[in-house]
Amino acid sequence: DLFREVLTHTKGRWAGKPFELLPWQEHRIIRPLFGILREQPSDEHPRGIRRIRKCYCEIPKKNGKSELVAGVGIKLLRADGEIGAEVYSAAGDKDQAAIIHSVSAQMMRNEPVLMEEVVIRDSIKWITFRGTGSYYRALSADVPTKHGFNSHGILFDELHAQPNSKLWDILTEGSTVARLQPLIFAITTAGYDRESICWKVREYAMKVMKGIIDDPEFLPVIYGMDEDEDWESEENWLKVNPSMDKIFTLEDFRKSYR
């Protein structure tokens, strides 16, 4: 409901229109992330407590990942019932981290109700939610300054672009332990470096998908081909691009291929 009733798209021909989640966004991401509960609603926790703590989503370019993650950031900031929530967007550099943050800020500017609740400081990429003292901040890649966080949400964009595991390790290992239902959400296009942190997280996600590892708190979502599949097959293009014919057309894809 937050997406379609409050949030709007920010770019191109969809700018200003309600954020109607595409089927893959709704059923493979949003409903599992926020709808699968470890503890059912109670007097103490009227919304229940979420089960999913970490998500790895790998998907090709132009399938709508930036606006989806921006919406998740707003959910964690102002619609999650968390007092003093700290939400961070991180990437290989601050410019990349700022992309999601800027989209979130524009979504808020598009909705007067949201703008009454927040203070947006573009110069430092910081959004404060007045009601709970929560904030949403874009981080640079300056690793030594990233200790001491008490994170409720971490949005990690383009994990494949990380030069090493330092930023991932600092933001994901121990920084969320004081939160009741934290979320680490990594979304990325595919990389090529099999020594990278992205490959290691991907390998873990694949093992969860295949049932080799039993981790009910980890949500793997991978739109990619196996190594023995034909990358020139249109059937495979459709399989790994769930926003095909919604955001871009098959004919556009054919032109890029040619």
Q: What is the pLDDT of residue 91?
A: 84
What are the residue ranges in the chain where pLDDT is below 50? none
Q: What is the pLDDT of residue 97?
A: 80
Q: Could you give the angle at the alpha carbon of 208 between the alpha carbons of 32 and 46, nearest 5°?
A: 30
Q: What is the pLDDT of residue 177?
A: 83
Q: What is the pLDDT of residue 147?
A: 73
Q: What is the pLDDT of residue 144?
A: 62
For residue 9, give the DSSP letter. -
Q: What is the pLDDT of residue 95?
A: 81
Q: What is the pLDDT of residue 207?
A: 98
Q: How far apart are the first and last CA of the chain?
A: 40
Q: Which residues contact 144 (CB under 8 A, 6 or more apart)?
A: none
Q: How far apart are CA 16 and CA 224, in angstroms?
A: 31
Q: What is the pLDDT of residue 98?
A: 85
Q: What is the pLDDT of residue 12?
A: 86
Query: What is each CA distance from 85 to 45, 118, 135, in whole angstroms?
Result: 16, 13, 6
Q: Is 249 exposed, middle or buried (0-12, 13-18, 19+ CB in 10 A)?
A: exposed
Q: Could you give the angle at the alpha carbon of 61 between the alpha carbons of 197 and 72, nearest 5°?
A: 75
Element (DSSP H or E) covering residue 58 = strand 54-58
Q: What is the pLDDT of residue 243?
A: 95
Q: What is the pLDDT of residue 143?
A: 60
pTM exceeds 0.85, yes or no: yes
